[in-house]
Structure formats: structure tokens, C-alpha cells
Amino acid sequence: MKKIILILLLPIFLFSQEKSSDVVDLTLLDFYKSKDVETYEYRDLFIEQTNMIMKRSSDSIVIKKCKEYLDYLSKVKTIEGINVDLSKASKEDLKLFYTNDDKYLKTKFLRHRKLDSEQIRLSIQIKNNKALILMKVNYISNDWLFLKYLTFLVGEDQININLKEVERNVNLGSINETSSFYVNDEIMQNLEKIIQSPTRIDFRFSGDKGYNDSFLTLNHIKKLKEVIDFVNKIKI
């Protein structure tokens, strides 16, 4: 959501710098092209913003670049979201989650009440009756790892996730490296394997400075399963 807010605010900032509109528009296009089109929401937002640029511009180069980018967006594969009906959830179901309605983004956020302290978390975002599952990876230590990968051991199989856009912060003597990303079909298939495990799941954080091993307890796995089961219950 931070990235969506940045996308919406960037045009206001650039125009406030009193640059020519064509320079601003080209800068915006370059910025949009540099971002991963992770989900249908990002795709639709980039299409909307690019159409706005093309509508207000009379510069042939800007218009050409807009058309090229719109053509790319029409073909790019994104996470489309899951069609859901939240009314299918009972009060007991909803008690598992902290809920927050963002009226500006027109999005409902649901966070499992007992996952906030865990290193591996799942949460849910619902907009226009479409649900996205967000996975958050949180590495806390006294030393930087410069986190790049997360690997789960499920039986004899290794599940590898490449972590992008890792945020790094220092908090009261410890360091915190965090990566958040939307769950695509491949990750969901792997999560289904994890939540069905009858035993703990070992996992490894690895990066430029080495690695750190940990594991998902059965209780942790149960909480992850509750998030996925909730989405499956409200699925249309």
C-alpha cells in the first residue's frame, strides 16, 4: 500500500517543482516502468495514470511512450485477486483478525491477531470484492544479513522465494530487515504444502552476509492456515 500511495502522490510533488509538464510526464512514465506490476490493482492504477498523461499531453514523444506502455500493460501477467464475498464470514471468523477500513484507498485490511509477532506473516487486503494475500517476512537480529532469499524445507523439497525491495531499519539496538509481497499462484501452491505439514517446517533467511536458520512451529503453521482457510471460505 505504501507504493500505491507514492504512485498517487508523485505527480503532485513533481508538478509542485514547477517543471514543464512534458518533463514531469516523462519522469512519471519512467517511474511507472521501473516498478513491478505485481497485481491487477497496480496494473489498473498504472493504466489510469498513463491514460491521464496521454490525455493532457500534446507532445508526440510522450504520447508514443504512453501507447507503448499501455500495450505492455495489456499483456503483462499479474496477480488478479480472488473474487470474494465477505458476508460469507461469520462473526467468529472475523474475531481472528484486526480489521481496518481505509476510506481513501477503499480497501479493507485484515491482520491475524496472533501473527504480528511472527517472522513469517500473512494478511488479507480486500478491494472491490477482490482479495489479495500479502506475505511479510521479518528478520530481526543484532547483525545485518542483507536479506535476499527465504527457503523452506518441506519434506525432501526446498521452496525458494526471492525477496525484493527489502526494507532495513535499526530499532533499539537490533536491526530489522523486512520484505512484503503479494502471494501469487506458485507461492500459494507452496503455502498449501506448508499448512498441511504434520511437523514443524524449517526455513532459512539468507543474504549477502550469510544465513540464519529458524522454523515454523505447529502453532505458527495453524495461524497461517487460518488466514488461507478464511479466504477460501469467503471465495465466490
pLDDT per residue as tens digits for the range 162-194: 998 899 999 888 999 999 999 999 999 999 999
Same domain, 107 and 156: yes
b/e string for 184-203 if b means 16 or more Cβ within 10 A?
beebeebbeebbeeeeebeb
Burial grade of 142 (CB within 10 A; 0-12, 13-18, 19 or more): exposed
Q: Dump pLDDT digits (tens) for 95-138.
A: 999 999 999 889 999 999 999 889 999 999 999 999 999 999 99
What's the DSSP call for residue 214?
A: E
Number of H-type helices and E-type strands within the chain: 7, 11
CA distances from 39 to 11, 48, 115, 194 (A): 21, 14, 24, 23
Q: Which of 24, 51, 75 is the last residue of a domain?
A: 75
Same domain, 117 and 42: no
Contact 41, 4 (CB under 8 A): yes
Has residue 19 got a pLDDT over 90? no
Residue 136 to residue 178: CA distance in whole angstroms: 7
Report pLDDT for 18.
47
Same domain, 30 and 58: yes
Same domain, 92 and 171: yes
